[in-house]
Amino acid sequence: MTVADHTTRQRNWAETLSAPLRTAFQHPWVEGIVRLGAVEDTLRALHPMLSITEARARVVRIVDETADTKTFVLRPNALWQGRRTARAGQFVRLRLEIDGRRVERIYSLSSRPGARLIAITVKRQAGGLASPFLHEQVKVGDVLCLSQPDGDFVLSDPLPGKILLLSAGSGITPVMAMLRDLQARKYHGDVVFLHVCRNADALIFSKTLRTIEEDFPELSLLVHFDDMAGRFSAESLLYAVPDLAERSTWMCGPGGFMDLVHRHWHTRAISAPLHSERFVAIAMLPATAPGTPVTVMLVTSGQHFVTQGVDPLLVQAEKAGLTPKHGCRMGICRSCQCTKKSGTVENLQTGEISDTPNEAIRLCISVARSDLSLDL
């Protein structure tokens, strides 16, 4: 047996053991005696992929896509359920430890749902924390902690007959997963993939796109290079996709690009669905009223807590020792969405104050303005 074979066996051993170990340690008899934190520490010391609580993934390949963008190909352990559940367009939260600090960032899966190996594609943000760390410190063989796939920027079911996948810059990542998914599902409708970037050197996935194009006759692949075609505008969009109003569109890209497309949809009163995802939050407004304490009732569990200060409800719930589901913490991913049964909240992105009963609210951008009852 070679050293490589031995390492692969060891790795498979650790990855396969995670799920049965979890079942064993969650048995009520064992749970009563053993402290979970101590078990996790011991397992991690034995092997970085071993965990009974946490999905982890080993970096198996790193691909330089462009000068500032890398794809990290990952092999998740058995606790990651995304191989069965992930939908194209969804993201994972990476939990990184950077200089002794735990940092969470969200990355869209750029791989095809159902694939054994998954991929995230990360653009290096100058002055950022996580993306330079991933680019400079993370290497093949390292183990990353990740969440289950999440997010509702996904293809509709059943698929429409005409689709536009529209992206700019690093916004190409979730729509790339959608394109891969359509190809794998042998989609027979008509799909246009339009990507906007500075120039040919900035085109992420250039080789892969060419390969997919050769094998996917229903696909029209269009790329707008700013340096050749000028700054992307509503006119460029209509010129590239004249039947835009007939296409269900999925779009991701920088704020200015997305605002331009949203405006166009609005001005032309286009009724075809436009689904979009932002990587960066819309700026939050300061809360307009002092944080008078109010009581928040949670109807499902019967628990309640009292708010302190003007923090959004997600932070308030966490201060009270609860662990609501969340993702971006900035109003983008809707992971924290729940139904407000009654009471008044202020939306920190729009400034809107609403007392509508049975309304969907996002905890991370909502501030309580009265006693609340939440279906959480």
Q: Does 105 bind ligand FES (CB under 6 A)?
A: no
Among 48, 149, 171, 331, binds ligand FES (CB under 6 A): 331
Q: Does 333 bind ligand FES (CB under 6 A)?
A: yes
Among 47, 83, 128, 206, binds ligand FAD (CB under 6 A): 128
CA 236, distance to chain mean position in Å, is 29
Give me the sign of the Cα torsion angle 69, 276, 113, 79. Answer: positive
Q: Does 143 bind ligand FES (CB under 6 A)?
A: no
Q: Is 269 exposed, middle or buried (0-12, 13-18, 19+ CB in 10 A)?
A: exposed
Of the pair 22, 275, the CB lying nearest ligand FAD is at 275
Q: Does 77 bind ligand FAD (CB under 6 A)?
A: no
Of the pair 55, 333, the CB lying nearest ligand FES is at 333
Q: Does 123 bind ligand FAD (CB under 6 A)?
A: yes
Q: Does 216 bind ligand FAD (CB under 6 A)?
A: no
Instruction: Assess whether the previous peptide bond of 158 is cis (omega < 30° from 0).
Output: yes
All residues at 6 or more sequence positions from 37 whose CB lies less than 8 Å from its CB, including other chains: none
How many whole angstroms separate alpha carbon 230 and alpha carbon 3?
Answer: 54
Q: Does 333 bind ligand FAD (CB under 6 A)?
A: yes
Q: Check if the beta carbon of residue 373 is closer than 8 Å to that of residue 299.
A: yes
51 binds, among ligand FAD, ligand FES, none (CB under 5 to 8 A by kind): none
Q: Check if the beta carbon of residue 308 is closer than 8 Å to that of residue 317.
A: no
Of the pair 193, 279, the CB lying nearest ligand FAD is at 279
All residues at 6 or more sequence positions from 257 whose CB lies less than 8 Å from its CB, including other chains: 168, 169, 171, 196, 232
Total of chain residues touching ligand FAD, rule CB under 6 A: 22
Angle at 281 between CA 160 and CA 330, to 5 degrees: 100
Q: Does 164 bind ligand FES (CB under 6 A)?
A: no
Q: Does 374 bind ligand FES (CB under 6 A)?
A: no
Among 44, 95, 275, 334, binds ligand FES (CB under 6 A): 334
151 to 109, 195, 199, 332: CA distances (angstroms): 11, 22, 30, 9
Among 130, 298, 328, 338, binds ligand FES (CB under 6 A): 328
- Residues at the interface with ligand FAD (CB under 6 A): 91, 105-108, 121-123, 125-131, 170, 173, 277, 279, 328, 332-333
